[in-house]
Structure 1
Amino acid sequence: MAAATFQLSRPARLLVFGSPGVGKGTQSTRLIQRYPQLATISSGDLLRQNVTSRTPLGIMAESKMKAGKMVPDNMMLRLILNELSKRGWVNSGPRVPYTVQATSISDPMDYAVSTNPFSMDQVSLPQEYTYSDSPTASFILDGFPRNAAQAAQVEKLIPLNFVVNIQTPADIIIARICNRWVHAPSGRVYNTTFNAPKVDGRDDITGEQLTRRADDDPEVWKQRIVEFEKASQPLLEHYDRKGLLWTVNGNSSDEISPKLFAEFEKRFCRT
């Protein structure tokens, strides 16, 4: 039987937040399955796509990465805005004039980048823009922002209206990770607590030996969680001050999802 889907009554622009291993990806996938008007806007995916497609922004970002430098925040913001524009969700003013130089640009919003390719850090951003009021212009922003400074930049350009903070006790996350086993050739993942293999230590399909991921070490995960909580506090405080933050607690994805669905529908779905 197919899962029920729900229609949105206004656009939802989300950020799903939480420590490593808390299940952000699971919750985002479930949201998209339940609310088909939602899409995922992944900054990492957009970066890779632009590099592969050799867009002006992609070329500039690749040069940064090859030099061992971080991709500047304004480049990441421009990538996100370009994607929203392509989907018809953003109108950032008049299109650039038709010129020989502009005809080779896959997205007219890249024009300002191509006219000054040597100014790597001076990627222009639109000063005036409007967002679609259609419920179909709804998305989950993935991978950016990661700190309070980036959040302030996003706020000036992308009016997020719901920030979900998923909280699960660290000992539960670590226990979950410690019980995780993988079939490396296929990527199939098992967990002895809720998705155990039919034969202990063996892949269900091939019967081959399961292994642990190299980074699935309890001490490594403890440190990752501690570092995340320390770094994330200013970001959470930023969104809390803006009245956008909503925190959900639970020990498992199945416990968290119903709470998240209820809050989401209260905010964005017709009653």
Structure 2
Amino acid sequence: MLQKGLLLRAVIMGCPGSGKGTISSRINKHFDILTLSSGDLLRFNAVQQTPIGLKATKYMEEGQLVPDDLITDLVLESIKTHGEGRHWLLDGFPRTRKQAETLNKASPINVAINLIVPHEVIISRIAGRWTHMPSGRIYNTEFNPPKIAGRDDITGEPLSQRVDDQPENIRRRLDIYLSTMQPVVDFYREAGVLREFKGKESNKIWPEVFRSMATFIEPKMPLP
């Protein structure tokens, strides 16, 4: 367990399709911990037209990446507003070593979770994903197939595959992720707070993550 009075400051990392979202939601369910997703924060601030949201929207409307400094300001402001006095977990941040260093100065991380899933498993998992574009409903030919192949269960309309979900593009996304995130992983390894979990399925990785988290913070419910 964490020392009395010491709050959990955690980040979770993992390639696209590694099950990071699934593991994050389970951490949130089983532990009394605030989960902050940089993507969700960005979308919320854009919709609410906050000062940071308006700046970010300007970049997105021009087809540009939102600058690192702006994302960092957004996350740090959210931590200050919502995370004071609470255990928290960041999902989707930091994305660069500079962001990691800035975060550590503001609020040192004491647990960095890194999910490692074989690339071929990730490619197979994502390549099987099909979407009903009008509604956003997502199916997967491996574990959540539509009742009729290629058709939405509710409307019967055709399903589509995003260009990013095609195998050749998945490989490119994985290569970009690894080249970008390796310095961040190295930063947390050097800091002595990195915990890596390897496996092919989220259901098999999760118990190890749960037990690891339980050494830092009391779970509010046991493993099923």
Match of 1:32 among 28, 35, 59: 28
Alpha-carbon distance, 1:82 to partner: 2.7
Describe the superposition over 1:138-180 as per-residue Cα deviations: whole angstroms up to 9, x where unpaired: 2221232111121111100022211110011001111112222
Identity fraction in percent: 39
Counterpart position of 2:207: 258
Rounded Cα–Cα distance in structure 1 between residues aligned with 2:162 and 2:61: 28
Give runs of aligned pairs for residues 114-153 of structure 1, distance below 5 A: 132=85, 137-153=86-102
Rg comparison, structure with higher value: 1
* Residue 15 in structure 1 maps to residue 31 in structure 2: no
Structure 1, 258-267 or 59-68: larger mean CA deviation: 59-68
Q: Distance in 1 between matches of 2:67 and 2:147?
A: 45
In the alignment, is the contact (CA less than 8 A) between 1:15 and 1:162 conserved in 2?
yes
Q: Does 1:87 align with 2:82?
A: yes
Q: Please name the residue that 2:41 is paired with.
A: 46
The letter for the 1-side match of 2:11 is L
CA contact (8 A) 2:24 2:91 kept: no
How far apart, CA to CA, are the structure 2 residues paired with 1:263 and 1:60? 38
- Contact 1:65/1:71, CA 8 A, preserved across alignment: no
| C-alpha distance in 1 between matches for 2:21 and 2:211 | 18
**Given the two structures, how large is their TM-score scaled by the length of structure 2?**
0.83
Query: C-alpha distance in 2, partners of 1:164/1:88?
Result: 19
**TM-score, length of structure 1 as denominator length:** 0.70
| Structure 1 runs not aligned, ≥5 long | 1-8, 90-131
RMSD in angstroms over aligned alpha carbons?
2.6
Question: How much has 1:218 moved relative to structure 2?
Answer: 0.6
Going from structure 1 to structure 2, the CA distance change for 1:160 and 1:230 (only over 3 Å counts) comes to same
Partner of 2:168: 219
Give the C-alpha shift of residue 88 in structure 1: 6.4
Quickly say closer, same or farther: Cα 1:64–1:198, change in 2 above 3 A: closer
Shift of 1:223: 1.4
Q: Specify whether residues 207 and 242 from structure 1 end up closer, same or farther in structure 2 by C-alpha distance, changes over 3 A only.
A: same
Letter in 2 for 1:86: T
Unmatched runs of 5 consecutive residues or more in structure 2:
none
Task: Tell me what 2:155 maps to.
Answer: 206
> How has the CA–CA distance of structure 1 residues 77 and 266 changed in structure 2, closer, same or farther, with 3 Å as cutoff?
same
1:162 equivalent to 2:88? Answer no
- Which deviations, in whole Å up to 9, do the C-alpha atoms of 1:86-131 show, x marking residues without a partner? 3361xxxxxxxxxxxxxxxxxxxxxxxxxxxxxxxxxxxxxxxxxx
> Structure 2: how far apart are the matches of 1:180 and 1:199?
15
Count of aligned pairs: 215
Q: For 2:141 and 2:173, locate their aligned partners in 1 and report how far apart those are by CA, in whole Å.
A: 23
Q: Structure 2: how far apart are the matches of 1:239 and 1:88?
A: 21
Instruction: Name the SS of the counterpart of 1:83 in structure 2.
Output: helix
